[in-house]
């Protein structure tokens, strides 16, 4: 399995129409950190591959409590 890992910074050669050719053999996109949603959407749309997203510290600043968090951010209390 080939993984395209993205973290913390927008990379211009990835955020370009050539991403489809450069990373055609990628099976999964993994994002860690605070990347713009539009950037991630662009990459996964052009590659047509699934995305695993690990939010960065800024997500915790925006949604500081588990009650205010979107469902993608799990709290320790939500363990099944």
**For 21-30, 35-44, 52-61, which range has the lowest pLDDT when averaged over its residues?**
52-61
For residue 35, the Cα-to-chain-centroid distance in whole angstroms is 7
Position with higher pLDDT, 64 vs 6: 6
pTM listed for this prediction = 0.68
d(CA 7, CA 30) in angstroms, rounded, equals: 8
Q: Is the dihedral of CA 23, 29, 32, 38 positive or negative?
A: positive
Position with higher pLDDT, 36 vs 73: 36
For residue 19, the Cα-to-chain-centroid distance in whole angstroms is 16
User: pLDDT by residue (tens digit) across 2-18?
Assistant: 999 999 889 999 999 99
What's the pLDDT score for residue 80?
A: 44
């Amino acid at each position: 399995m080939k993984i395209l890992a993205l973290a913390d910074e927008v990379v211009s050669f990835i955020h370009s129409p050539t991403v489809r050719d450069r990373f055609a053999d990628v099976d999964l996109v993994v994002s860690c950190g605070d990347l713009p949603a539009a950037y991630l959407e662009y990459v996964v749309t052009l590659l047509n591959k699934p995305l695993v997203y690990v939010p960065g510290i800024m997500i915790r600043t925006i949604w500081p409590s588990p009650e205010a968090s979107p469902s993608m951010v799990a709290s320790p209390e939500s363990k099944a």
